[in-house]
Amino acid sequence: MTPELVIAGAGGFARETAAAVRAANEIRPAWRLRGFLDDDPATHGTGRGGVPILGPLSTVDDLPDVAVVVCIGNPRDPGVRRRVVQRLGLPAERYATIVHPTAQVGAGCLIGPGSVLLAQVVLTADVTVGSHVGVMPHTVLTHDDVIGDYVTIASGVRLGGGVRVEPGAYLGSGALVRESVTVGASSLLGMGSVVLQDVPPDEVWVGNPARRLRGSQLPAGAPGASPRSTT
C-alpha cells in the first residue's frame, strides 16, 4: 500500500514539494498526498494546486499513521522550521524524505529524515545532508560537503568540496561557497554572495567577496516569526 503524506506548510516551498511528490509518483507510486497543514484558519477548507489544506499543524495528532514533511521557510526567520518541528514533537521515523526524480544523488551520500531535494539538485559524492533540510532547484553540493539540520539552501547555490554548513543557516539564491569553508549556525548568505572565508554563526554576509553586513537574529515578535503560509 502506498504510504500517506501530509506537508506542514502551504506556501511556495510546500507547493514545490507537492510537485516533487507528483513527479516521483509518475515514475513509481511513492506517496499518497493527503494535503497541506497551515495554522491560518482562513485557509482551512481551501486548497493549493489541487491539494487541500486540511487544517492547522496540530492535525498531525489525528493522523498517527501518516508521514510528515515540514516545508516552512523564511529568510527573515531562518529558525522557523526548527521551531515547527520542535512544536510537533514527532519521532524521526514519522518524517518523510522527499527527493525529486531529477535530482542526482551520488555514491556515499546520506540524506536525513524530513529533508527535501527539489528538481535538478546534484549531490556528487559523499555529501551528508542532515534532517529537515530544504535544498531548492539547481543546487550543486560537491564531494564531502556536510549540511547541518534545518539548513535552507535556495536555488542555484554552489558549494565547493568539503564545505560545512552548520545547523539553521540560510543560503540565498546563487550563493557560491569556496571549498573547505564553514558557514556558521543560523547565519544567512545574501543572494549571489561569493564566500571565500569562514562565516561566523548568527551573521548576515553579502557581496562579492562576501562581507559581514549585520547580525542575523530576528527580534522577538518581528514579522516572519509565524509559521502561517510561509515560503
Please provide the DSSP assignment of 115-131 as one string: -EE-TT-EE-SS-EE-S
Residue 146 phi, psi (nearest 5): -125, 120
The pLDDT tens digits for 9-18 are 999 999 999 9
On whether residue 163 sits in a domain, the answer given is yes
Residue that finishes a domain, picked among 74, 94, 114: 94
Are residues 162 and 186 both part of a single domain? yes
Residue 148 to residue 131: CA distance in whole angstroms: 7
On whether residue 52 sits in a domain, the answer given is yes
Q: How far is CA 73 from CA 104, 112, 169, 173, 226, in A?
A: 23, 17, 11, 14, 10
Query: At 80, which amino acid appears?
Result: V
Are residues 69 and 51 both part of a single domain? yes
Return the CATH number at 159.
Answer: 2.160.10.10
* Number of domains the chain is built from: 2
Terminal-to-terminal C-alpha distance of the chain:
31
On whether residue 227 sits in a domain, the answer given is no
Residue 176 phi, psi (nearest 5): -120, 130
Q: Strand 67-70: give its sheet, edge to edge.
A: 47-48, 51-55, 32-37, 4-8, 67-70
Domain span at residue 177? 98-209
On whether residue 120 sits in a domain, the answer given is yes
Return the CATH number at 32.
Answer: 3.40.50.20
The pLDDT tens digits for 23-51 are 999 999 999 999 999 999 999 989 998 99
On whether residue 224 sits in a domain, the answer given is no
Q: Which pLDDT score is estimated for 145?
A: 98
39-49 as b/e, with b when 16 or more CB fall inside 10 Å?
beeebeeeebe
Are residues 86 and 145 both part of a single domain? no
The pLDDT tens digits for 180-194 are 999 999 999 999 999
Are residues 140 and 188 both part of a single domain? yes
On whether residue 39 sits in a domain, the answer given is yes
The pLDDT tens digits for 125-134 are 999 999 999 9
- Alpha-helical segments (H) within 54-116: 80-88
**What average pLDDT does the structure give for the chain?**
92
